[in-house]
Amino acid sequence: MKGDKNNNTMILGNEGYGLKKFNISNISQPVLSGAATYTANAPGFCQEVKFSSNGNYIYGLFQTYEQFRIYDAITLSLVGNIQNIGGVAYGNSDMLVWGNRIFIDANGGSTDTMRVIDAAVPSSPVIVTSLAINVNDMKMNNGKIFLCNDSGIYVYDVASGIPVFGYTTLLSMLISSSSVSMAFFVR
């Protein structure tokens, strides 16, 4: 079960039961405030959820039917979807959000592929690019995706809103108490 938080709202991907939304204004007493559960046209098996950058939408990765879905964050109504994004593996998916772009490693099929979805029009999301790369883990910081796999660490600069998928090798990382400074070489 994976989740995300936006202000006083927490959303959980609840495996075979879809999404559950909680009001966490009182952290010691979370209150279930909504659910998008199993229906004939939108079954569960949610593997990952994230709020949109502005908090108005919830993005979900599902193993079944519409594999990528966009929900209204207040009503949990389905707003848009992509039927097939190339597979979503059980328990081993990752999703990062930057502006209207969603970066997905769904670990589906025989080859890992990072997919980039443009959700500028939530009712009509589209896959804008794919990058065939094995992903063990990925994180985002200041418009850069830090991705690691068995071959090393790669950095992708997406701050401009257009992903730049040139391989980069991280040469050094200096961590101080207030920031992360990086030096890297781009091939």
For the chain, give every domain's residue range.
2-186
Predicted local distance difference test score (pLDDT) of residue 167: 46
Can you tell me the distance from the alpha carbon of 99 to that of 112, in angstroms, rounded to the nearest whole number? Answer: 24
Average pLDDT on 90-106 reads 81
Give the position of tokens 């079944």. 64
pTM, two decimal places: 0.79
> pLDDT over 90 for what percent of the chain?
29
Q: Of 151, 150, 48, give the one whose Cα is nearest residue 102.
A: 48
Q: Which amino acid is at 56?
A: N
Average pLDDT on 87-91 reads 60
CA distances from 66 to 47, 56, 79 (A): 12, 20, 12
Predicted local distance difference test score (pLDDT) of residue 40: 55
2-186 under CATH 2.130.10.10, yes or no = yes
**Which of the four pLDDT bands, split at 50, 70 and 90, describes residue 172?**
very low
Rounded to 5 degrees, what angle do the CA atoms 132, 145, 70 make?
Answer: 80
Can you tell me the distance from the alpha carbon of 50 to that of 69, in angstroms, rounded to the nearest whole number? Answer: 11
Q: Has residue 41 got a pLDDT over 60? A: no
Average pLDDT on 126-140 reads 82
Q: Has residue 170 got a pLDDT over 70? A: no
Instruction: Identify the three-state secondary structure at position 100.
Output: coil
**Which of the four pLDDT bands, split at 50, 70 and 90, describes residue 90?**
low
Q: Has residue 169 got a pLDDT over 90? A: no
> pLDDT over 70 for what percent of the chain?
72
Sheet containing 57-62: order of strands:
46-51, 57-62, 68-72, 78-82
Q: Of 46, 49, 53, give the one whose Cα is nearest residue 18.
A: 46
Average pLDDT on 111-123 reads 86
Q: CA quadruple 37, 42, 43, 46: dihedral positive or negative? A: negative
Q: What is the mean pLDDT of the chain?
A: 76
Query: Which of the pair, 26 or 148, is modelled with greater confidence?
Result: 26
